Amino acid sequence: MPPAPPIDATPLPGGRLSREDFSRIHDRTAAILSRTGMWFGSEAAVALFRSRGFKTDGPVVFFHEAALEAALASVASRFTLLGRNPAHTITFHPDEIAVGMGRSAAFIVENNQTRRKAAANDFIELFKLAQALPAIRMMGNLVTPGDMPPAAVYPFMMVNQIRWSDKPYIFMDPGDIDLLCIAFGITRERMRADADRQIAYAQSTINPISPLAVSGEQADFLMLSAEYGMPVSLSPTPATGSTGPCTLAGNVLLNNCEVLGLLVLSQLVRPGLPVFYGVFPSGIDMRTMAGTYGSPEARLMEAAAVRMARFYGMLTRGNVGATDALTCDFQSGAESMFNFTTAMANRINHLPGCGHLGSFAAASKEKMVLDAEAAAYAGRWMRPMDLSDEALAADLIQEIGPRGNFLTARHTFANFRTELHHPELFSRPTYEKWAAEGRDLAARAADTADALLAAYVPPDLDRETDKALARFLAP
């Protein structure tokens, strides 16, 4: 194994993990992958493994520990993810944190009450909203339109990513490569060449099927992503007692097995491909068998998995705003902010999730705006405290002295705008003003979303590029 970087000494809320614990998890991972293996539904992936000397039994691939060590030594932990607007380009490294939109909800919660199937216009509206919110730095398919033929969905989503945003994109389908080339004015050859310099034009996500299986579609998409240098989030979601063991530690171990098995495949295709270690095992409510993504167990497993990724020196991918609530209410706010603060405290690098409700099944404009507000809160919380002499203000304290006040001091006017966080939506009025307005937070979030959409200005996109993109859309 490569030398491990320093591990955060901060204990988990539920206890401390030692270097010996990480080594035990790794050793058991190596044993499971070598003796039990992983099932791959892709003939191409199995053929590649076989050609590199891996033992296979039909679709099951067995991993020797040397292959795990080689992949861990190869994977990159720094790269540049381009935005079409260079101002939005992100350079990922172990200390970078970027918040993004959620993924793949089938439903929209409208007016914070009724749920309906997501449509094409919802996809566009949510993209415009994310483009307008500075806290959201990465785009994603928050909803999947359900009002068009399946074959038309992916071209529609990629074309409209490009039309309505110039922030970094998500790569979702093989056909997206040509659309990305049009958007950035490059060729496939240039995309491959830039990947050798750790420059990427989009990022993708691969979800294995827990336990220990990968569909043919996902394995082939991983190989294609690696070929073109798309940084990949390897994101298992084993769930306690259903698709994973009914212990937190068992789920963390299974998560590690699935990440490392896919990591090996990614590095066989393109050694040095940047990969995000997925840190999102989940719970199950045994009374309803529903996934519990906003639960305390999910946060504990997330924290342990982050430390496992750090043990390997890998970048991490989690989520923010995770909630099992079906509407924007107290539960939604509590679970979402809990997720924001733990994810940022754990310094998870890639954090999609803004806009989700109902265990990732639904999305809403209100939730998108409120998650952006939560991201700003958590971001301020993560900003280091200034301990300079100017910030300590010892001379000023002596000057003001007992029973004085600091309201009219020049120091106050020089610092209050930057030192103090001023929320856009979370209110701090007097009771009288609050009572006179008579609107709750969800209603005010809806107003804010509508105002942002009314003021939305599309990013620059020349007419010829737009015409070239339009040719990919269904008539």
What is the per-residue pLDDT across 325-365, written as a single tens digit (0 to 9) for each? 999 999 999 999 999 999 999 999 999 999 999 999 999 99
Let me know if residue 415 belongs to a domain. Answer: yes
pLDDT digits (tens, 9 = 90+) for 128-137: 999 999 999 9
Whether the predicted pLDDT of 14 surpasses 80: no
Let me know if residue 276 belongs to a domain. Answer: no
- Tokens linked to 378: 């958590």
User: Which residue(s) pair with 232 in the sheet?
Assistant: 204, 275
Let me know if residue 399 belongs to a domain. Answer: yes
pLDDT band at 429 (very low <50, low <70, confident <90, very high): confident
φ, ψ (nearest 5 deg) of residue 47 = -65, -40
* pLDDT of res. 315: 98
Higher pLDDT, 423 or 183: 183
Helix, strand, coil distribution of the chain in percent, nearest 5: 45, 15, 40
Q: What does pLDDT average to over the chain?
A: 94
Evaluated on CA atoms 301, 304, 307, 313, the torsion sign reads negative
Let me know if residue 412 belongs to a domain. Answer: yes
Whether the predicted pLDDT of 300 surpasses 50: yes
* pLDDT of res. 290: 81
* pLDDT of res. 354: 98
pLDDT band at 91 (very low <50, low <70, confident <90, very high): very high
CA atoms of 116 and 119, how far apart (whole Å)? 9
Let me know if residue 246 belongs to a domain. Answer: no
Let me know if residue 245 belongs to a domain. Answer: no
* pLDDT of res. 289: 82
Let me know if residue 408 belongs to a domain. Answer: yes
User: Which residue(s) pair with 81 in the sheet?
Assistant: 90, 200
Whether the predicted pLDDT of 6 surpasses 80: no
Q: What's the rounded mean pLDDT across residues 313-317?
A: 98
Strands (E), 270-376: 275-278, 283-285, 290-292, 315-317, 350-354, 356-357, 362-363
* pLDDT of res. 288: 85
Q: How far is CA 152 from the centre of its chain?
A: 25
Q: What's the rounded mean pLDDT across residues 1-28?
A: 74
Let me know if residue 367 belongs to a domain. Answer: no
CA atoms of 240 and 36, how far apart (whole Å)? 20
Whether the predicted pLDDT of 206 surpasses 50: yes
User: Is the distance from CB of 322 to CB of 336 less than 8 angstroms?
Assistant: yes
CA atoms of 70 and 106, how far apart (whole Å)? 39
* pLDDT of res. 16: 77
CA atoms of 284 and 196, how far apart (whole Å)? 41
Whether the predicted pLDDT of 475 surpasses 90: no
pLDDT digits (tens, 9 = 90+) for 118-166: 999 999 999 999 999 999 999 999 999 999 999 999 999 999 999 999 9
* Across 12-16, 62-66, 268-272, least confident range: 12-16
User: Which residue(s) pair with 91 in the sheet?
Assistant: 80
pLDDT band at 474 (very low <50, low <70, confident <90, very high): confident
pLDDT above 70: percentage of residues in the chain: 97
Whether the predicted pLDDT of 72 surpasses 70: yes
User: Is the distance from CB of 139 to CB of 172 less than 8 angstroms?
Assistant: no
- 201: left (phi > 0), else alpha (psi -120 to 50), else beta? alpha
Evaluated on CA atoms 141, 147, 153, 158, the torsion sign reads negative
HEC states along 35-103?
Answer: HCCEEECCHHHHHHHHHCCCEEECCEEECCHHHHHHHHHHCECCEEECCCCHHHCEEECCCCCEEEECC
pLDDT band at 307 (very low <50, low <70, confident <90, very high): very high
CA atoms of 75 and 41, how far apart (whole Å)? 24
Q: What's the rounded mean pLDDT across residues 14-19?
A: 79
Overall domain count for the chain: 1
* pLDDT of res. 412: 94
Whether the predicted pLDDT of 2 surpasses 90: no
Domain that holds residue 399: 389-419
User: Is the distance from CB of 281 to CB of 275 less than 8 angstroms?
Assistant: no
